[in-house]
Amino acid sequence: MTAQDLKNSVLQLAVQGKLIPQNPEDEPAAVLLERIRAEKKRLVKEGKIKAEKPLPEITEDEIPFEIPEGWCWCRLGSINEVARGGSPRPINQFITNEPNGINWIKIGDTEKGGKYIYSTAEKIKPEGIRYTREVHYGDFLLSNSMSFGRPYILRTSGCIHDGWLVITLDENILNADFFYYLLSSRFMYNQFSGLAAGSTVKNLKSETAKLVLCPIPPLNEQQRIVEKIEELHTMIESYGKAEEELTALNSRFPEDLKKSVLQYAVQGKLVPQNPEDEPAAALLEKIRAEKKRLVKEKKIKAEKAESFIFKGEDGSYYENVGGEIKNINEEIPFEIPEGWVWVRLGELLTSTDAGKSPDCIDKMASDDDWGVIKTTAVQKNYFLEDENKALPKEFKINESFVIHENDVIITRAGPQNRTGVVCCVDKISKKLILSDKTIRLSTINEYLNTFFLSLTLNSGGVQENIRSKFTGMAASQVNISQENIKTCFFPLPPLAEQQRIVEKVEELLQLCERLN
């Protein structure tokens, strides 16, 4: 049950006389109603209000529920004056900023969930009064359009348009707070809604509003009901905040769970280690040897200096770059299992290729045309090939720009939340190239699972390291260079464990998707 459902239930119990016990010593509501009728007769006699046609008697068939002894049923119009507002037209010719302007009360002057109207944003010229209706401090306004049937208590005076009904209340005879809660109940709203004309926009006439039934308790009980409602509302507000927090938690849960799965995966906590796996140190040596062979055959360029990260006897991490050794323990994002190694990402890459972004036709490339990807094509761990722009026919395709299956792509420029995002191209059917805001991270696929590379680079601890390499101050535009990407830390597990991690992550991410 939501907080609003609870509020509705409390108000329904209140108007049925079931919220608090009755006190037989209270003056009955029938006596109260007689005083109201006598007061109205006096005002008519003094010419302060107009005499109204008698309202129809309440029949037994109309009464929706039993009320306690001491309560009475009456029609709204028998205890209150009910009238509709009006508008001088065209209204823009009557709006004024002059000091003698009259408050022009509109629905925009209310606060969401508010009880009172304190001030107005606009005023009308005094000569507009004869085309509208004046209202006063303490009057009740009932919205007659937009947020239909919503009551407010005036804490100012002014004029109202025909989107309002005004209900004048004598606070010496009826408790204003009780009357507010009565009007706020679903019981009253359902009556107003049933009487309102118009299928699309509900519109309530003052004459029909006078006919709705009101259950009236003794005056003393009205005050006790108000006190109980406000006591319960305080508790319901606390419940509502907890409900909002739970709703927010539920909406975040699938995404938070995905993040946790990825973080556990790259920390070696998602699947058990197998002591029979070839250690990552041996795998790294194979990668280095293969890269040296490719450099020798001039298929890739040599790196400026190799990096060797190792754990010292003191348990701290050190890095050897060109014979210079430094302690990097404070920089390492997290601990990894035995058999894994920390490396700089550049140690695993054979090349990094950026693309080109020529002036393009702002439409998606057809199956026969070439297209350049937008950065939105690169989502965390998946690729959207339809996020592209058609290239001009005359554009010359450079093979190094072309996207292939199993490519790992990272965004290198854009808003903070769109930079450093990585995906593995699991399949591609279109002819696409990289943009200048995306980079392909090429590896020796025989020794590194490309999907593991993608999910690791998207995981929390590694992402923080990538984001620390951003340049550019504005949140709307940051960059990360190819050289800075290569310096990011990467936790490397044995090859067999990479595959087990990928399989488990895919299984768990499918479960996360079902939670959405």
What does the pLDDT read at residue 36? 83
Calpha distance 422→439 (Å, rounded): 10
Rounded distance between C-alpha atoms, residue 199 and residue 78, angstroms: 28
> How many CB atoms are closer than 10 A to CB 307?
18
For residues 448 and 493, give the distance between their C-alpha atoms in angstroms, rounded to a whole number: 9
Q: Does 3.90.550.10 match the CATH number of domain 3-233?
A: no
User: Are the CB atoms for 159 and 129 separated by under 8 Å?
Assistant: yes
* Matching residue, tokens 């997290």: 334
Q: Do 3-233 and 267-515 agree at the fold level?
A: yes
Tell me the torsion sign for CA atoms 242, 246, 251, 257. Answer: positive
Structure tokens at 178: 């009780």
Alpha-carbon span 485 to 351, nearest angstrom: 12
Q: Is the dihedral of CA 318, 322, 324, 330 positive or negative?
A: negative
Q: Nearest Cα to 104, choosing from 173, 164, 158?
A: 158
pLDDT at 227: 95
Q: What is the mean pLDDT of the chain?
A: 89
* All structural domains of the chain with their residue ranges: 3-233, 267-515
User: Would you say the C-alpha torsion 169, 174, 180, 184 has a positive or negative sign?
Assistant: negative
Tell which CATH classification among 3.90.78.10, 3.40.50.300, 3.90.220.20, 3.40.630.40 matches the domain 267-515. Answer: 3.90.220.20
Max Cα–Cα distance, the chain, nearest Å? 112
Give every CB contact of residue 462 below 8 A, 6+ residues apart in sequence: 266, 333, 456, 488, 489, 490, 491
Q: What is the pTM of this model?
A: 0.58
pLDDT of residue 473: 66
Give all strands (DSSP E) within 184-233, no chain letters.
213-216
The predicted structure's pLDDT at residue 329: 92
pLDDT along the chain (516 residues), means of 10: 85 94 93 86 80 87 94 91 92 93 94 92 94 94 82 96 90 88 94 74 82 94 95 84 71 76 90 94 94 91 85 90 89 92 94 87 81 93 92 88 94 92 93 94 93 93 92 81 93 95 88 69
Between the two ends of the chain, the Cα-to-Cα distance in Å is 21
8 Å CB contact between 12 and 184: no
